[in-house]
Amino acid sequence: METSFETQQASPGQRLSLIEDEHSVTSIVEAAMANTADPRLRFIMDALVRHLHDFLREVRLSDAEFEFALEFIARLGQATNATHNEVVLAADVLGLSTLVTVMNNSTRDGRTPGALLGPFYRANAPRYACGDCVVQDDAPGLPLLVSGTVRATDGTPLAGALVEIWQASPVGLYDNQDPNQPDRNLRGCFHTDEAGGYHFRTVRPAGYPVPTHGPVGTLLAAQQRHPYRPAHIHFIVAAPGYRTLVTQVFADEQDKLESDVTFGVHRQLVGNLRLHDHGRSPWGDVPAPFCTLQFDFTLEPGQQTFPKPPID
Ligand code: BEZ
Ligand code: FE
């Protein structure tokens, strides 16, 4: 028996919005999202769809490549757990995280550039007095004396500002990655003195690879990229009435600075690292060889906030 379907016919002159070719898809999707109540969400999603559609048309993505890409994204989620976020890592190695950080941290009026918080920030770092040493073990390492001044953009030294630091060891591991390190080794909170100065003693950190066990590692290998970050010290610098600065100061050889797998090395974040092969340290009475690293921070007026630690 024959079944007949009644189709709704467009009245003469009326043209239904239907897909006709690869270009018509974009405007039809945009129209479908046009009633989004939140104007910012509408703006972002509209631009996202437009750019993604243009991208697909530009690279002429095949069905197999599309399937592979979706599987790759699913694998990012599957490789994510309480101590490792592969999605964030993917954003890092594509330069997305650094781009967002650079866009949202103006260097106007001499403000210190921001940098990624990274996955190794932990709460409850030990509190130290200026000049103290953050090394809790006797593992070998080149002594490093770090010092500088915290100022506001108008030049005022900021007394009592918080300077929190964390870093990898001389073998390139954070305390939480290394059963040989005491808990919260190479982490510490300091407060600046009356002149806004801070100084502390540590060991020279090494560069280290980002995790490569997941799909991001596969991508890096396919791109023939090494997975290393150059040696750096993470800083949070905070004072009431000032926008909290989350940043990193780099202390490594020139060639390593240029190939950070996460693209984190802002020109202004390269510290003044010096190796001293004779004499004693300017403070702390450390015999040569030792290194010094000098770095000043400039905070802008704003709100003091504290980042949420990504791990315990
Ligand atoms: C870090 O500096 O701790 C870091 C940043 C991004 C990815 C991996 C590590
Ligand atoms: Fe780091």
Instruction: Say if residue 53 is in the same domain as residue 102.
Output: no
**Contact (Cβ atoms closer than 8 angstroms) between residue 198 and residue 111:** no
Instruction: Say if residue 41 is in the same domain as residue 151.
Output: no
Cβ partners under 8 Å of residue 54, min gap 6: 26
Cβ partners under 8 Å of residue 89, min gap 6: 119, 210, 211, 214, 216
**Contact (Cβ atoms closer than 8 angstroms) between residue 175 and residue 186:** yes
Choose between 150 and 253: higher pLDDT. Answer: 150
Residue 68 lies in a domain: no
Residue 309 lies in a domain: no
Instruction: Say if residue 166 is in the same domain as residue 241.
Output: yes
- Please report the pLDDT score of residue 254 as a whole number: 83
**CATH number for the domain that contains residue 221:** 2.60.130.10
Regarding the beta carbon of 118 and ligand 1, being less than 6 Å apart is answered yes
**Is the four-CA dihedral 192, 193, 197, 198 of positive or negative sign?**
negative
Per-residue pLDDT reduced to its tens digit, 242-251: 999 999 999 9
- Side chain identity at residue 42, one-letter code: R
Identify the domain boundary among 60, 76, 104. 60
**Contact (Cβ atoms closer than 8 angstroms) between residue 210 and residue 261:** yes
Query: Tokens 């802002």 map to which residue?
Result: 266
Regarding the beta carbon of 207 and ligand 1, being less than 6 Å apart is answered no
Instruction: Say if residue 157 is in the same domain as residue 222.
Output: yes
Strands 143-152 vs 290-294: parallel, antiparallel or unpaired? parallel
Instruction: Say if residue 151 is in the same domain as residue 293.
Output: yes
Choose between 12 and 83: higher pLDDT. Answer: 83
- Residue 209's domain comprises 86-299
Q: Pick the residue whose CA is nearest to atom 6 on ligand 1.
A: 118
Residue 37 lies in a domain: yes
Residue 293 lies in a domain: yes
Instruction: Say if residue 21 is in the same domain as residue 164.
Output: no
- Please report the pLDDT score of residue 3 as a whole number: 54
Instruction: Say if residue 166 is in the same domain as residue 289.
Output: yes
Per-residue pLDDT reduced to its tens digit, 250-302: 997 888 999 999 999 999 999 999 999 999 998 889 999 999 999 999 999 99
229 pLDDT exceeds 60? Answer: yes
Q: Report the separation in Å between the CA atom of 78 and the middle of ligand 2, taken as the mean of its atom positions.
A: 23
Residue 170 lies in a domain: yes
Residue 66 lies in a domain: no
**Contact (Cβ atoms closer than 8 angstroms) between residue 117 and residue 264:** no
211: left (phi over 0), alpha (psi -120 to 50) or beta: beta
Choose the weakest-confidence range: 136-140, 160-164, 281-285, 292-296. Answer: 281-285
Regarding the beta carbon of 262 and ligand 1, being less than 6 Å apart is answered yes
- Please report the pLDDT score of residue 81 as a whole number: 94
Instruction: Say if residue 259 is in the same domain as residue 134.
Output: yes
Closest ligand 1 atom to the C-alpha of 248? 2
Instruction: Say if residue 154 is in the same domain as residue 201.
Output: yes
Residue 65 lies in a domain: no
Choose between 150 and 8: higher pLDDT. Answer: 150
Instruction: Say if residue 200 is in the same domain as residue 249.
Output: yes
79 pLDDT exceeds 80? Answer: yes
Q: What pTM did the predictor assign?
A: 0.93
Instruction: Say if residue 113 is in the same domain as residue 19.
Output: no
Residue 265 lies in a domain: yes
- Please report the pLDDT score of residue 7 as a whole number: 55
